[in-house]
Amino acid sequence: MPPAGPPPSMQQLLQQAQRMQAQLAEAQAEIAAARLTGSAGGGLVTATVGGSLELGGLTIDPSVVDPADVDTLVDLVLAAVRDAQRQAHELQQDKLAPFQQASGPGVPGL
């Protein structure tokens, strides 16, 4: 096994931490700005959520509004919202995954 190089200096560690902090802030801003749309019933109901999972919009095609069958409409709305939230959750995982792993030599777990 080859000998390890000299340990990183405190200056290098601080610079690496600052870069990671900037990258994390950028990823969080991308998540916050994201708008994801889920759908159900072949697009008859769509829900839009932000990257932070807040519901931002809901569109319902009038053809699915049947006063005699409110349960189906409720199911479609829930399915559309869950689909959009799932997409937002996946976006969060994708953007934040690099920060949940070890960040490299000298700065584990940052």
CATH H-level superfamily of 10-100: Nucleoid-associated protein YbaB-like domain (3.30.1310.10)
Give the model's confidence band at 78: pLDDT under 50 very low, under 70 low, under 90 confident, else very high.
Answer: very high
Q: What is the pLDDT of residue 59?
A: 97
7-37 pLDDT tens trace: 888 888 899 889 999 999 999 999 999 999 9
Contacts of 95 (CB under 8 A, 6+ apart): 27, 28, 30, 31
| Beta strand pairing call for 35-40 and 45-50 | antiparallel
Q: What is the pLDDT of residue 98?
A: 85
Give the model's confidence band at 108: pLDDT under 50 very low, under 70 low, under 90 confident, else very high.
Answer: very low
Give the model's confidence band at 109: pLDDT under 50 very low, under 70 low, under 90 confident, else very high.
Answer: very low
| Beta strand pairing call for 55-60 and 45-50 | antiparallel
Would you kindly state where each structural domain of the chain is located, as residue ranges?
Answer: 10-100
Q: Determine contact, residues 72/64, Cβ cutoff 8 Å.
A: yes
